[in-house]
Amino acid sequence: MTTRRTVIKAVGAGTLASGLSTPASGVSGAPRAAQTDVLVVVEKSNHSVSFYDAVTGERHQTIRLPEYPHEMVVDSRGRFAYVGHYGVRMASTAGEGGSAVFVIDLAARTLARTIDTRPFNRIHGMGIDRHDRLYALSEEKAVLLGFDAPSTDTAPTRAVPTQGVKTHLFTLSRDGERAYVTGLLSHTVSLVRPHDASVAPVLVTPGLLPESSCLSRDEKTLFVGARKSSALVAVDARTMKVRRTKKAGGDPLRVYTVDDERLLVTDIAARTLTLWSTDLRTLRTLRLTGTPSAVTLHPTRPLAYASLLDTNEIAVVDLNRFTVTDTFATHSEPDAAVLLAR
């Protein structure tokens, strides 16, 4: 018998349901995930994906992968996870990198197969739409790949140029018709149409070194973290015009949509998580003991799971009290993760 799962993805467009009921409490009285919730974590310098009990932190299983997997998404049924083979440790690391997407069977907890993406290499940003179509970004070739049936596809079924340089991450509209691709060296965000390569990309320069972004819940505004500008930028998601820029300080690495009114930003220089309003006002800041990279938001509870790269831990954050309620150890350099909430 298959258990139905509600799944939330960790790459670039996380949301948290509003109007929540009172969550279950752990020993400390803080909201905690159900006993069956599982956090699946990419551990890039351990070259693995591991499965953790989201409450106890117990490691259930580890799947070994080729060197330096990075980003990951999961389908709507929680059947398969898809991991990009970046193949190098960091964006600043030289090298050809990897040219593959790893397909993880989440029920069997095994590497089911590998999709060869050559000649498209340094596969980093990953996305999946509401139709379970998969998208993977080649940083080296600046091309967004599409897979219409990723559970069975043996190669990409489409490819769209982005016109950026060193394209690293992207945010996808729910229907998969729009993708917003960041270019680390071109300092741009490109609006591309993944299903119509005849439509020219529309580019904007929101600031220096834009890396991550997220869409507002109504998908009318794109929020971008411009790392070298130390700024958070609101962009009109249709016209690609900058609406507002606010200095964030530090190094805003990742930006997530929490709900209709709030954003969550990780800062790897200050080692903080900050809640922002969607009109770009700072609400609350939480200092962490490690360097936060990716964050996974629980789909029905006010919880966030922050991957701490340098201390090899997951920090569990109560978003109501905005405090760390727990931490648990991982393998080396935890990064992108998905939560299987059953």
DSSP assignment letter at 31: B
Mean pLDDT, 10 residues at a time, over the chain (342 residues)?
34 33 33 69 98 96 97 96 96 94 97 98 98 98 98 97 98 98 98 97 98 98 98 98 96 97 97 98 97 95 96 97 97 97 81
Look at residue 332 and give its three-state secondary structure: coil
Q: What are phi and psi of 63, to 5 degrees?
A: -110, 120
Kindly give the residue spans of alpha helices, DSSP state H, lying in 55-137. none
Q: What pLDDT shows up at residue 35?
A: 55
pTM of the entire structure? 0.89
Contact (CB, 8 A) for 167 and 139: yes
- DSSP string of 181-204, one letter each residue: EEETTTTEEEEE-TT-TTSPPEEE
Structure tokens at 329: 């150890």
Q: How many CB atoms neighbour CB 142 within 10 A?
A: 21
Q: How many Cα atoms are found within 13 Å in the side-chain-facing hemisphere of 83? A: 33
Structure tokens at 183: 């270019």
